[in-house]
Every structure is written in C-alpha cells, then in structure tokens.
C-alpha cells in the first residue's frame, strides 16, 4: 500500500456535484492498493497514519498526533499512486490492485482508521471521478509505502 498523507485545515470530495466527504483539521489520505498487499500492510499503515505526529504543539513543533488535535480523516482511493513511468509517456497501472481485491482492502482500511481514531472517517467513492478540494496546512505532505516501511 502507498499513502500520501496531507495535513489539511479542510478537505472535501465531490462526486457528480455531491459532497461525499468533508473534514476540517486533519489528514487527507490518498490510498493506493496493489495486488501484493495484505492485512498486515493495512494494519501497519493504519497505525502509522493515526499516530503520525505532524501537528504543532504549544511551541510550534510537530509533536501532536491526530487524536491530540481531534482531527478527522478524508480517505480517497487512488490507484494512480502505483503508476509506472519507466517506459514511454503513458503510465502503466499494472501493479495497482483490481477492484475485486482493492475495494475490500479499502473498506477494511476505512474501518481500521475509524476504530483507531474513534470517529467516522470521511471518504470518496471507490472508482468514481472525484474532485478533491483541500487546504494543505504547512504544507505538510508525507508519503508512506508498506513495502519499504518508509
């Protein structure tokens, strides 16, 4: 799994002019799932996301986690995080999991995050043409990959 985590002051997802999810302070998480991903990858990543200390403390240092600031999560599926661009100019997405594997893992990730932060995780619609609006705070953007544990 790959995740791009952006600290935001606000973020929302719109599909067909309807808002499917919106948060104030928190994380916009773009999540890519590949065929090799397992529940272990999911649990590792969910823990890392929810415990990531990138919110400012009283001294302006990044010492606080999502729970410390009562932050929310907007989770968006993004197969393009597994784009391979080595050959030519048209990316290949062959490493991205097909919907029959990706959808259940995406739903499990949503449930795992909800359990860890004890609140509803806002979301997009898997496979839909989504419009994402965000106000990146910082900007702070972190990329994580469960295969390299970075």
Which residue numbers are catalytic?
80
Closest CA to 45 of 84, 3, 99: 3
DSSP state for residue 66 in the 8-state scheme: T
**Which residues make beta-bridge pairs with 11?**
23, 134
142 in Cβ contact with 29 (< 8 Å): no
Question: Residue 65 corresponds to which tokens in the numbers above?
Answer: 């986690």
Closest CA to 95 of 75, 79, 78, 76: 79
**Which whole-number Å values give the CA distances from 74 to 28, 49, 58, 149, in the listed order?**
5, 12, 26, 22
Q: Peptide bond before 139: cis, by omega within 30 degrees of 0? A: yes
């Amino acid at each position: 799994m790959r995740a791009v985590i952006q600290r935001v002051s606000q973020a929302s997802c719109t599909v067909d002019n309807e808002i499917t999810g919106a948060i104030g302070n928190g994380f916009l998480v773009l999540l890519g799932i590949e065929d090799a991903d397992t529940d272990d990858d999911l649990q590792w990543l969910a823990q890392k996301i929810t415990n990531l200390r990138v919110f400012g403390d009283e001294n302006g240092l990044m010492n606080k986690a999502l729970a410390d600031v009562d932050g929310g999560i907007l989770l968006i599926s993004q197969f393009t995080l597994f784009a391979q661009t080595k050959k030519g100019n048209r990316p290949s997405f062959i490493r991205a999991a097909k919907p029959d594997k990706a959808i259940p893992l995406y739903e499990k990730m949503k449930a795992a995050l909800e359990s860890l932060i004890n609140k509803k995780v806002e979301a997009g619609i898997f496979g839909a043409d989504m419009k994402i609006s965000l106000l990146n705070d910082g900007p702070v953007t972190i990329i994580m990959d469960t295969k390299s544990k970075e």
